[in-house]
A and B are shown apart, each in its own frame.
Chain A
């Protein structure tokens, strides 16, 4: 075996080993890598009320209610299977609306998610407003709202 073939084999074997190691680490830490939990996961697993966590899902249509003080808001986050009521006091991001994907950070207390931060997710679709309007008119709209 020539030197360069030796080096090639070494690099190949090393690469496979490193990839396997990375795969094992990422699978082991999966729980820490996910950015948020869905309402279904929330109902299946018991999270302590002291544990800070994030939930993600869609804002259920017709669920957003503003409180009289003007800064508190409550709504329901759903993954279409299960849903969780959320309360939040603060400034909501511009993209926040019914049907929009959001991520809320806070604590789960007696079935109600008390959020300290609310972030908006946006989807991977980009189009001009006229096109969105035309698609909605033709009834082909797949997204929320």
Chain B
């Protein structure tokens, strides 16, 4: 892992992964959405409304996955002071926040026709809302300091502490009575989703993951390029470098 903390090595690897992630994301999301919206069957109980699941459920998975990635990257940036880990956490935050918002909004749109309400304060919904606020807090804290290094440190601590919320979200439906139903996939007696509905769901999940990798790489490369430009400008201004080098 520590090998990839080297920015030069990371940039080389990221450049190679990026087109593959982009292709996989577009392919899986395209095929997944087609299967989800057109060629999968309606549900025996929920009818056509079940199609919201294909957008909602993977978005909620990604919301938690991105948070775990962000917290792990923050922890390694706190311990080993790796610049790339710091960048990874920073690049993940807005993507994770977007997935969380998508899960909240589609969940609300799904809740109205099925449960009969847009929103309730049950343990699952509330803990996901807290997750959204943790993302926003992370982004805000990062920009709250004049010195970006101090901002990054404060935000990293928040990210690591906030990871406690992830198991709470996951197990909220088992620990307490909630309006939200328990997990369909991670059950002791196998998934409770028919294979004709499971395939588009997993396709969408794969597509979302590839989309996240793609977006994170773009953001991290842009951030690294920005640092480089700033360094070149600084050297030019202080007269230590004669002219910017083509790279």
What residues of chain A have their CB less than 8 Å away from a CB belonging to chain B? 4, 7-8, 11, 14-15, 18-19, 22, 26, 30, 33-38, 56, 92-95, 103, 117-133
Q: How many residues belonging to B are interface residues under a CB distance threshold of 8 Å? A: 41
Assess whether B226 is interfacial by the CB under 8 Å rule: no
Nearest neighbor of B40 in chain A, beta-carbon distance: A128
* Contact residue among A8, A35, A95, A133 (Cβ-Cβ distance under 8 Å from B123): A35
A36 CB, nearest partner CB in chain B, Å: 5
A127 with B44: CB separation less than 8 A: yes
Which A residues are in CB contact (< 8 Å) with B123? Answer: 33-35
A126 with B193: CB separation less than 8 A: yes
Q: Is chain B's interface secondary structure helix, strand, loop, or mixed overall?
A: loop
State the CA gap A46–B137 with chains docked (Å). Answer: 41
Also in contact, A127 and B43, with CB within 8 A (given A18-B161, A120-B115, A121-B181): yes
B42 with A128: CB separation less than 8 A: yes
State the CA gap A95–B61 with chains docked (Å). Answer: 26
B179 with A121: CB separation less than 8 A: yes
Task: Give 14 A-B contacts (CB < 8 Å), ordered by A residue.
Answer: A22-B168, A30-B176, A34-B123, A34-B177, A35-B122, A35-B176, A36-B179, A93-B115, A94-B116, A119-B179, A121-B115, A122-B115, A129-B41, A129-B44
Which B residues are in CB contact (< 8 Å) with A103? Answer: 179
A7 with B176: CB separation less than 8 A: no
Assess whether B164 is interfacial by the CB under 8 Å rule: yes
CB-CB contacts of B198-240 with A at 8 A, as 1s and 0s?
0000000000000000000000000000000000000000000
Nearest neighbor of B156 in chain A, beta-carbon distance: A11
* Contact residue among A37, A38, A120, A131 (Cβ-Cβ distance under 8 Å from B114): A120
State the CA gap A125–B191 with chains docked (Å). Answer: 8
Also in contact, A22 and B120, with CB within 8 A (given A11-B75, A122-B181): no
A124 with B181: CB separation less than 8 A: yes
Also in contact, A95 and B45, with CB within 8 A (given A18-B164, A120-B115): yes
Going nearest first, the 7 A-B pairs with the smallest beta carbon separation are A93-B116, A128-B41, A132-B44, A127-B194, A35-B122, A124-B184, A129-B44
Also in contact, A126 and B50, with CB within 8 A (given A35-B176, A95-B45): yes
Which of B45, B177, B181 has most A Cβ within 10 Å?
B45
State the CA gap A126–B187 with chains docked (Å). Answer: 14
Which B residues are in CB contact (< 8 Å) with A15? Answer: 160
Also in contact, A22 and B194, with CB within 8 A (given A119-B116, A122-B114): no
What residues of chain B have their CB less than 8 Å away from a CB belonging to chain A? 41-46, 50, 53, 75, 78-81, 113-117, 120-123, 160-161, 164, 168, 175-179, 181-184, 187, 192-194, 196-197
A119 with B194: CB separation less than 8 A: no
State the CA gap A127–B179 with chains docked (Å). Answer: 20
* Contact residue among A37, A120, A127, A128 (Cβ-Cβ distance under 8 Å from B116): A120
B184 CB, nearest partner CB in chain A, Å: 4
A24 CB, nearest partner CB in chain B, Å: 12
B79 with A8: CB separation less than 8 A: yes
* Contact residue among B177, B182, B183, B184 (Cβ-Cβ distance under 8 Å from A35): B177
State the CA gap A127–B42 with chains docked (Å). Answer: 8
B197 CB, nearest partner CB in chain A, Å: 5
State the CA gap A132–B196 with chains docked (Å). Answer: 13
State the CA gap A6–B198 with chains docked (Å). Answer: 46
Which A residues are in CB contact (< 8 Å) with B45? Answer: 95, 122-123, 125, 132
B120 with A35: CB separation less than 8 A: yes
State the CA gap A132–B41 with chains docked (Å). Answer: 12
